Amino acid sequence: MKNLPLNPEIFVQNRQRFVKQMQKNSIAIFVSNDEMPTNGDQLYRFKQNSDLYWLSGITQEDSMVILFPDNTDPKYREVLVLVRPNEMKEKWDGKRLRVNEAQALSGIKTIVWLDSIDALLQPWIHLADNIYLDSNENDRKASLIRTREYRFIDETKARYPLHNYIRAAKMLKELRGIKTKLEVEVMQTACDITDKTFRRLLGFIKPGVMEYEIEAEIMHSFLSQRATGEAYGSIIASGDRARILHYVSNNEECKEGELILMDFGAEYGGYCADLTRTVPVSGKFTRRQKTVYNACLNLFNYAKTILRPGISVVDYTDKMGDAATQEFLRIGLIRKSDVKNEDPENRAYRKYLYHGISHHLGVDVHDLGTRTEPVKPGMLFTIEPGIYIEEEQMGIRIENNFWITKTGYVDLMKNIPITVEEIEALMKK
């Protein structure tokens, strides 16, 4: 753990929110992610199951969280399961959590070692009527690998076939979509680290620099500020490569006259930031680049005025499409005839803006949260319009992170330079 210890009240509150929605006489069991092999005897860097982390703040492998609020023994109503520290293993792989350390991180008082949990878990399950089990219900899920949580579902159902099983993920999608004040404080730290990193880059970028050198500056800045690292693979796309939404090769030269699109964010304490800025490699926008950039900024500023409690994602997208249509007409990307003859399912503006404008952000960079129900206070979104022009070999995107309140929003990246004038002035310095 590179970050300073977080306030354990974050995870105490998260568990309380989950338990409040559990049915009476129910037990909920969460398991950690697998350690995944690469090649030979190597493993990928371990990444904790996001739901287990959200409930406990524990990043160690082979962990479990068990919640049984109606347990007849109050001591076992909230349990954290950890692998027992082993002197030989620690010589090879490093220190494992002790009881007092785990209690301080999670706020859970009862710690049970993994090698003794089976004897305790069986009678608890026999007492319960319902079992909540977790699964990956992120709408963007792409992998078909049968991970530990799915294997645990199979094993539990085979062992206890007559219990009533409930999807924990359905509850967590709603709960994790609403950020508490304490969670937002951690995300603000991630955004502040990202802010300092962006300012550092403005003094580093110049014609001839390589995209991977910029990526290296990002990693150096993140780690020197106690971030865990990148929240996701940084996109450093100069020139025409900026039209590739998830460009991560980052291996080309940044040339004079080009724009460079940089989409990156720090992870701090398990929570993500997500910033995009597009800047001129030579330090000054051309007239055309400035025109297109300001059109994108206009869309960004308009999105801030309509992303409010009560609006649906569908209506929000439609309104942004209308605004994009007007901007693209103004700067000459589309014609009135294009709009008149457009396919309602593939509107004319989509040629130059072919992705969504916002997504949930939190423990995951594409975090859990409803995409069908109206926006609610407490949700935290990105706003990230883009304009991608194949004919001009140009891609521009602007992105900040917004916590939605009852009356408006809090822009966690409000201090990060965003206008043409701000960017040019800092690059000139």
pLDDT tens by residue, 56-92: 999 999 999 999 999 999 999 999 999 999 988 888 8
Look at strands 235-238 and 130-133 and give their pairing: unpaired
Q: For position 144, what pLDDT does the model report?
A: 83
Q: For position 1, what pLDDT does the model report?
A: 79
Q: For position 143, what pLDDT does the model report?
A: 81
142: confidence class by pLDDT, cuts 50, 70, 90: confident
Mean pLDDT computed over 332-358: 96
Average pLDDT across the chain, whole number: 96
> In 3D, which of 303, 274, 327, 273 has the Cα closest to residue 375?
303
Question: Residue 118 burial by CB count (10 A; 0-12/13-18/19+): exposed, middle or buried?
Answer: exposed
Q: What residue spans in the chain does CATH classification 3.40.350.10 cover? A: 9-176
Q: For position 139, what pLDDT does the model report?
A: 81
Percent of the chain with pLDDT over 90: 94
Question: Residue 349 burial by CB count (10 A; 0-12/13-18/19+): exposed, middle or buried?
Answer: buried
Q: For position 354, what pLDDT does the model report?
A: 95
Token output for 1? 């753990």
Q: What residue spans in the chain does CATH classification 3.90.230.10 cover? A: 181-428
How do residues 18-66 score in pLDDT, each as one tens digit? 999 999 999 999 999 999 999 998 999 999 999 999 999 999 999 999 9
In CATH terms, the fold of domain 9-176 is Creatine Amidinohydrolase; Chain A, domain 1 (3.40.350)
Using alpha carbons, list the distances in angstroms from residue 16 to 252, 364, 428: 49, 21, 51
Is the CB of residue 404 less than 8 Å from the CB of residue 381? yes
Is the per-residue pLDDT at 93 higher than 90? no
Calculate ∠ Cα 308-365-355, nearest 5°.
65
Percent of the chain with pLDDT over 70: 100
How do residues 198-236 score in pLDDT, each as one tens digit? 999 999 999 999 999 999 999 999 999 999 999 999 999
> In 3D, which of 53, 21, 49 has the Cα closest to residue 150?
49
Q: For position 140, what pLDDT does the model report?
A: 80
In CATH terms, the fold of domain 181-428 is Creatine Amidinohydrolase (3.90.230)
